[in-house]
Chain A
Amino acid sequence: MDYLTQQLINGLSIGATYALIALGYTMVYGVLRLINFAHGEVYMMGAVVAYWIAIGIAPWGWPVWGALAVIFGGAMGACAVLGFAIEFFAYRPLRNKPRLVVLITAIGVSLLLQNLAQTRYVFGPTPEAFPAVIEAKTVVRWTMGGPDNVVTVSNLDLLSLGLSLGLMGVLAWVVLRTRQGLALRAVSYRFDTSSLMGINTNRTISFTFMLGSALAAVAGVVDAIRYDVRPLMGLMPGLKAFVAAVLGGIGSIPGAFVGGLVIGLIETLVKGYLSSAYSDAVAFVVLIVILLVRPSGILGRYEAEKL
């Protein structure tokens, strides 16, 4: 029982970062019907930027909350700019080209960012531990039944879950209550019609990329603090977050959030009860099953194919 509870807590903590990445996939897919393959690399760049900021501000000895605010804020801002640039230079010129052309371009952007990060001018090929900004410690310690059956929650778990729940709330407010959010919903509902209604679709698409990239940056910083920073760290979380977006119903914002948490839970349960070797493959098994059984996902709506 305690083991299961611990696994569930770990799963939610990991799933929270998947959810943040998945939101970017799902919003971009909503407006452009494009799988932004480079999204995992935006997450990685968030971690890299945070790493440099943390190194830079380390000698000043700021309090934890100030340092965290600067690190998260800087990474979010930098990734928003990166997301804007990726869309502007790589995807916008291909707006009316076949989907596969754009998909290949997205793979190209992803490779480019991975390999730029591997050069020593950006980051370098070796993993680096994140500077000690915040120390991992157990904040909740809960004994279930006996003295050996301990369930622990660390401050990083709380940071991860808290940030993703909070940002989900902010995102809900932006999408549901602001004019730009209304435009986003309109564009993802009917692209051509919304442009006829006077919505600046290009600006809305840029906004979507910036929003999604900033969320991915937060996930990147959380994982950088929790594990370490490495130039290829974006690959697997990126793919798993994509699976999460499909699982939740691609194009659906609450779906991405639910999907992320579910993928995180499935992954930790498989890791805890079967073998950690399967933890990467299980996401793809979920993906293939979902695509075959219910392609519209948990919360997605079915879209009939038109000729």
Chain B
Amino acid sequence: MKDDGSRSRGWSVPAWGVNCALVVLVAGMWPLDWVLVEQMDEYYLRVLILVGLNVILATSLNLINGITGQFSLGHAGFMAIGAYATGSLMKYFSPTGAGAEAALLALLIVGGLVAAVAGLLVGIPTLRLRGDYLAIATLGFGEIIYTLIVTTDRIGPFEIGSSSGLHAIPIRTSFFWAYAGAIVCVASIWRLSYSAKGLAFRAVREDEIAAAAMGIDTTYYKVLAFVIGAFFAGVAGGLYATYDGNLAPESFRFTKSIELVVMVVLGGSGSITGVVVAAAVLTYLPEQLRFFAEWRMVIYSLALILMMLLRPEGLLGGRELLRWRRVAAATTVGGDAVQSGR
């Protein structure tokens, strides 16, 4: 019995056990899908699926913003790229019959990869910037992506639809696909974040200069976080495209990015379970508060300000629901104090 004193739990599950459990969990979504389609109100099923998509988006943004500390305001742009890539290809090929589900999986991955390439192209130049400049530059990239979509009618044989949007995409995404995607995304980012690479990500967040001095290739890790985050955002976009069947470029602007940032910040930057909970609550609550629509966003923004004033580390603040001990002493969202070093 080794006693390293760092484990709060007395037992641990071997990796293959976790993998098996995850496979069973994903497989379990299949029968659950049948049950929900039979039993659940169509409206609530839609909300449930949107929760799944927002969990993917918020968790992938959490890798960039929360865990690696690179404040990005352009996440909706990557979602848009994935949505248009998957949606456009889906519409072009219109797979039917037995191969349709396999084709969906393949096109979702393609959408994710296209978004990841975009993440790489955006990340390499902008990640030289820090803090607030990075935030504005990523916001700018989000707007540039939006403008490119609005001004492009088609790329070769593939329809983009410019400002009128892309419509009549074959609808393939069901509860199963949304939640399979969410489980895979959360599990991958959890395991990445609590691996040796995860420590490097956190080191970059806490102090970039010290991390570099310890031999961490900070640019590599920043770009890596960006690419992985963009990949999952692209997958979520693809899921959305094949769930809704219609894409409006307006829905992937600044406001969507801010909405995702609010989820990450309120859930606790860096806390994966915290952000999942925040994504679920912040998707469900607005649906419940429809009668309250006028004040909804006012309350959102007040909550954001009060959270920053009273508890800037977010609800869970670097902790996880099932693992209460802090992994890194993350008391801040990263970055230097406003007036330090002058």
Contacts and interface: CB of A to CB of B under 8 A. Distances in A.
B298 interface: yes
A103 B336 CA distance: 12
Given A105-B309, A111-B301, A285-B144, A99 B258 contact: no
Q: Main SS of chain B's interface residues?
A: helix
Contacts of B125: 288, 292
A90 B306 CA distance: 9
Contacts of B144: 281, 284-285
B339 A277 contact: no
Interface residues of B, number: 50
A179 interface: no
Contacts of B146: 281
A80 B76 CA distance: 34
B297 interface: yes
A35 B338 contact: no
B151 A278 contact: yes
Given A96-B337, A104-B265, A284-B141, A116 B298 contact: yes
Given A99-B132, A108-B308, A288-B137, A192 B337 contact: no
Contacts of B129: 291, 295
A119 interface: yes
A111 B298 CA distance: 8
A105 B337 CA distance: 14
B131 A108 contact: no
Given A98-B334, A288-B126, A104 B298 contact: no
A18 interface: no
B341 A306 contact: yes
Contacts of B339: 32-33, 95-96, 191-192
B295 interface: yes
Contacts of A192: 339, 342
Interface in B272-304: 294-295, 297-298, 300-302, 304
Given A33-B339, A101-B312, A278-B151, A291 B304 contact: no
Contacts of A292: 125, 128
A94 B308 contact: yes
A239 interface: yes
A192 B258 CA distance: 34
B148, B151, B312: most-surrounded residue (chain A CB, <10 A): B312
B124 to A, nearest CB: 10
A190 B147 CA distance: 41
A47 B263 CA distance: 31
A173 B163 CA distance: 47
Nearest to B145: A281
Nearest to A307: B209
Interface size class of A (residues with CB under 8 A): 35 or more
A116 B254 CA distance: 18
A287 B148 CA distance: 17
B204 interface: no
B312 A97 contact: yes
Nearest to A283: B140
A291 B138 CA distance: 12
Contacts of B297: 111, 114-115, 118
Interface in B114-141: 125-126, 128-129, 131-133, 135-137, 139-141
A93 interface: yes
A280 interface: yes
Nearest to B131: A99
A92 B67 CA distance: 27
Given A111-B304, A115-B301, A277 B147 contact: yes
Interface in B26-53: none
Given A35-B136, A90-B305, A292-B128, A111 B338 contact: no
A184 to B, nearest CB: 16
A243 B148 CA distance: 20
A112 B126 contact: no
Contacts of A177: none
Nearest to B269: A100
A103 B128 contact: no
A43 interface: no
A107 B261 contact: yes
A98 B332 contact: yes
13 contacts: A33-B339, A96-B337, A98-B337, A99-B335, A107-B261, A115-B297, A119-B294, A192-B339, A239-B140, A239-B143, A281-B146, A281-B148, A292-B128
Interface of B: 69, 71, 125-126, 128-129, 131-133, 135-137, 139-141, 143-144, 146-148, 150-151, 163, 209, 254, 258, 261, 265, 294-295, 297-298, 300-302, 304-305, 308-309, 312, 332-339, 341-342
Given A99-B336, A277-B150, A281-B146, 14 more contacts: A95-B339, A97-B338, A99-B131, A99-B132, A108-B305, A112-B305, A114-B297, A114-B301, A281-B143, A281-B148, A284-B139, A287-B136, A288-B140, A291-B137
Nearest first, the 6 A-B pairs at minimum CB distance are: A284-B140, A111-B301, A281-B147, A108-B304, A112-B301, A115-B297
